[in-house]
Amino acid sequence: MDVYQTDNEGYFVGITTDDPDPLTPGNRLIPRGCVGTAPPALGANETAHWAGGAWTKRPDHRGRVYWLADGSQYEITARGVELPEGALDEAPPSPPPSPEQIIAALTTEVQKHLDITARTRNYDGILSLCSYAASTHPKFRFEGLAGVAWRDAVWAACYAILADVQAGKRAVPTEAELLAGLPVMVWPA
């Protein structure tokens, strides 16, 4: 006869058979952790649990990853755990960046642009280039002076664009649009 096996927590794990009792003919031995009552029919994400002499249906979402509206991610690792109210199947969209985050991202790109341009002439970055404005070597002094003038013009243009964005006079530019709107470095001949 079929019997229904449970684990140490009482959850259904499978069907097995009872054994004839070798000492009492006609008697059947039910293996430990088994019951003679069949579990209920189960739907998706359900498991059967034996307790108090009866089966109950419990949720079984083990392995399921879900997100909450705040973007926190969780994985269910135990049986009997319900999905929380408002659980999402995929990560919610990120909130739009704050004005401070937009300004920080764009000014970081401008700084990288300044440094990359200075490196085309083997300076460590824009700070290094500008430090040569006081050089006694004419080539380096002229490049340093050009670097100072260009750096100042770039930041003035950058902050004018950002002020227009904050005033609602223009949309937030992409990094490429911002860089395209900045003065170009003209190296001395």
Encode pLDDT of 93-131 as tens digits.
Answer: 988 888 889 889 999 999 999 999 999 999 999 999 999
168 and 110, same domain (yes or no):
yes
Q: Is 187 a member of any domain?
A: no
105 and 174, same domain (yes or no):
yes
The total number of structural domains in the chain stands at 3
Which residue in 60, 59, 42, 49 sits closest to 7, CA to CA? 49
pLDDT at 130: 97
To the nearest whole percent, how much of the chain has pLDDT over 70?
100
Q: Is 186 a member of any domain?
A: no
Look up the domain containing 50 and give its range: 2-59
pLDDT at 94: 86
Q: Is 188 a member of any domain?
A: no
Q: What are the angstrom distances between the C-alpha of 108 and each of 18, 56, 112?
A: 72, 59, 6
104 and 88, same domain (yes or no):
no
**Lookup result for tokens 């209920």:** 40
23 and 54, same domain (yes or no):
yes
131 and 165, same domain (yes or no):
yes
**Side chain identity, residue 117:** T
Check pLDDT > 90 for residue 80: yes
Residue 139, phi-psi category: left (phi > 0), alpha (psi -120 to 50), beta (remainder): alpha
